[in-house]
Structure 1
Amino acid sequence: MSVLLVVVGLVALVLSLALPVVVKPLLRRLGVIDIPNDRSSHSTVVIRGMGLAVAVAILAALILSLVTGLVAVDRSLILVIVVLVAAASTLGWVEDFRGLSVRVRLSAQLVIGAIGTAALATSIDDSSYWWVPVGAVAFATYINATNFMDGINGISGMHGLVVGLFYSWAGVLSDQVWLTVAGLVVAAAFTGFLPWNLGRGFVFLGDVGSYLLGASIAAIAVTGLLAGVYLEYLLSPVLIYLADTFTTFLRRARRGERLSTAHRQHVYQRLTDAGLNHVQVSIFVSILSALTAAAGFVLATAPAPLAVSVSLFAAVVVALYLYSPRIFRAVARRRATAEA
């Protein structure tokens, strides 16, 4: 298994690294570009839609895990994940290429999530169909969370890497090979995207890529939940993204703002306004996500006294992230005052 696992991971990594050579000229010819505005975190016209290459890498590697027999048990779970990822990526590509209304996008996300969760409930023994609406909402929620959070270079690639690795480790701890494979493939594929996103002549994932990221994580999480994986394993790696998304949503709703309009009020965006560059913010978000994930993995099997301490630690990490723009602005002001 270990050799095949490495091979499948390498396939995802190499394809994600190599395919942009072909995909980038195609996107340029199709005019799939991102034009900056006053709410953007970049200042030049950039090719977007490179998530198409990452999607092919993930799907090819997952299918390879079935063909080689790496995933011999619970094969149907990988097949459902493949269909969910392919469907969401296609929806994101249509949004990149033609544009869709908010209502159409959300409806399609919910339908894809509902059908996928129903298929999982059919595949997994003793699963209840009452999970279908929960899975549909979770699927749509995290697709939109990753779409909202995909605003600076490196943040999505690093998120895929961190969450994928922790999900893969959750598979090892849970003795579920499909989860080990799926997590590793996601981590490897998004790692392969990072040099293209951070190097010279960088490109963006686009909606196809952010939908791919959200769908991959949500599909694995919903599948894991129905398969009996600890909720702490599945939820803790995405706490920072969810905290940023929901606090920003509540803040804007409280102000009476139109929620469908573009903005720069996410915590990670305010961190760049506070003086951090894209890579610094992406690393900061990833480190805190890794800390909450580690806390969740301990919490899952911890005795009561330790569980309380670990829960408080995770809460402090989330609070630190939410208040970090104020902290970094205060540090910048003190530094400026000292230099003056």
Structure 2
Amino acid sequence: MTVWWLLFAVFAGSWVLTLVLRRYALAKSLMDIPNERSSHSVPTPRGGGVAIVISFLLALPVLAGLNLLSPQTLYGLFGSGLLIAIIGFADDHGHIAARWRLLGHFFAAGWALFWLNGLAPIELFGLTVDLGWFGNILALVYLVWILNLYNFMDGIDGLASAEAISVCLGMCLVYWFSGHPELSWAPLILAAAVAGFLWWNFPPAQIFMGDAGSGFLGMILGGLALWAAWSRPELIWSWLILLGVFIVDSTWTLMRRLLQGQKIYQAHRSHAYQYASRVFNSHKVVTVGVVALNLVWLLPIAVIVGSGYMGGVSGLMLAYGPLILLSFKFKGGKAEF
């Protein structure tokens, strides 16, 4: 019963904090002003993702106190998430050079990996393989990429929030079917924190998440995946499958822009989801469509893989195939101007 009250408190706290942050942003003129590379047309307050950060981080020690989270996992998630949020908050209020942001990202990822004990042995073609130091390097790059791609994908109303909620709740089902329901509490708490913010962020958004929130979500979701792999090697594949829309769109767009010789560090609106929002002339349609893809297509595959009935690589290829086609169809990475 205590945990369910905690979930309600996290949701309510996030809801109230987002309201306070919105009023603060309006008072201080902390606005996201539309330009030619924006996907919105109305000046909107930004920085609301701080509500997610505060409500989730305050709940983590409570979970640890209830023995639902190990101290090592607490230190790993709390420290890395807080550092990424601070970097994002500073960048939201000014500008930090890309090289310094990236250095901070790698430091935060290294902190998470240290406390989460690195990359667990993973399932590859029916075998459990320990990749050793090479696996830890892959995990480091994975964490830095997942937090940055989450920032890239936070470009239309409600998308990053809805993705986090649907992925977290989907993984709770995967944990249930795979026999590891004890892993569900941290994703549930994160879903509750994001839901409080989504109340204000659902199309048409009354406040934007900002880098502090999007980078934080990427780091925490990546860390939860690494943590789950220590309980069952297949579970990291389930996370990668459920995060497929964000991973495929951002990776496809980045690679295409690189091949076209575009400056990948410049702001743009050439992700497939951004093109889709203009095709349908609606942020809501794309956001709801991504959630539907997660639930109807990716979740069943994630459950099958997490339960051991399909190999992780095979499940990933099956899941990502249609997503790659969608990225191609909606011109992900194609220069607009």
- Which residue of the partner structure matches residue 76 of structure 1? 72
- Which residue of the partner structure matches residue 134 of structure 1? 138
Distance of 1:312 and 1:121 partners within structure 2: 28
Aligned length: 320
Q: Say yes or no: does 1:295 pair with 2:293.
A: no
Distance of 1:6 and 1:168 partners within structure 2: 15
Q: Deviations over 1:227-275 (max 9, x none)?
A: 4442322211111111001110111111111111111110000101212
Distance of 1:155 and 1:17 partners within structure 2: 17
Q: How does 1:15-94 map to 2 (within 5 A)?
A: 15-67=13-65, 69-71=66-68, 74-94=70-90
Q: Say yes or no: does 1:202 pair with 2:202.
A: no
Q: By how many angstroms is 1:36 displaced?
A: 1.0
Q: Deviations over 1:53-103 (max 9, x none)?
A: 111111122222123x151x6332133212221111111111111211111
- Which residue of the partner structure matches residue 108 of structure 1? 104
When structure 1 is superposed on structure 2, of 296-305 and 273-282 the one drifting more is 296-305
Distance of 2:328 and 2:118 partners within structure 1: 43
Q: By how many angstroms is 1:50 displaced?
A: 0.4
Distance of 1:8 and 1:124 partners within structure 2: 30
Q: Secondary structure at the match of 2:117?
A: helix
Given candidates 132, 139, 160, the residue that maps to 2:164 is: 160
What TM-score, normalized to structure 1?
A: 0.85
Distance 1:303 1:113, change over 3 A: closer
Q: Which amino acid aligns with 2:319?
A: A
Distance of 1:298 and 1:114 partners within structure 2: 31
Q: Say yes or no: does 1:211 pair with 2:218.
A: no
Paired residues of 2:178 and 2:306 also in contact (CA < 8 A): no
Distance of 2:323 and 2:174 partners within structure 1: 21
Q: Say yes or no: does 1:237 pair with 2:242.
A: yes
Given candidates 214, 228, 232, the residue that maps to 1:224 is: 228
Q: Which amino acid aligns with 1:292?
A: L
Name the Cα RMSD after superposition: 2.8
- Which residue of the partner structure matches residue 333 of structure 1? none
When structure 1 is superposed on structure 2, of 146-155 and 73-82 the one drifting more is 73-82
Q: Decide which structure has greater helix share.
A: 1
Paired residues of 2:244 and 2:320 also in contact (CA < 8 A): no
Q: By how many angstroms is 1:152 displaced?
A: 0.3
Q: By how many angstroms is 1:26 displaced?
A: 2.5
Distance of 1:124 and 1:270 partners within structure 2: 37
Distance of 1:121 and 1:163 partners within structure 2: 24
Q: By how many angstroms is 1:128 displaced?
A: 5.2
When structure 1 is superposed on structure 2, of 234-243 and 170-179 the one drifting more is 170-179
**Unaligned regions of 5+ residues in structure 1, if any?**
327-340
- Which residue of the partner structure matches residue 261 of structure 1? 266
Paired residues of 1:171 and 1:177 also in contact (CA < 8 A): yes
Paired residues of 2:89 and 2:211 also in contact (CA < 8 A): yes
Distance 1:163 1:304, change over 3 A: closer
- Which residue of the partner structure matches residue 334 of structure 2? none
Paired residues of 2:118 and 2:139 also in contact (CA < 8 A): no
Distance 1:259 1:122, change over 3 A: closer
Q: By how many angstroms is 1:324 displaced?
A: 4.6
**Unaligned regions of 5+ residues in structure 2, if any?**
122-129, 332-337
Q: Which has the larger radius of gyration?
A: 1
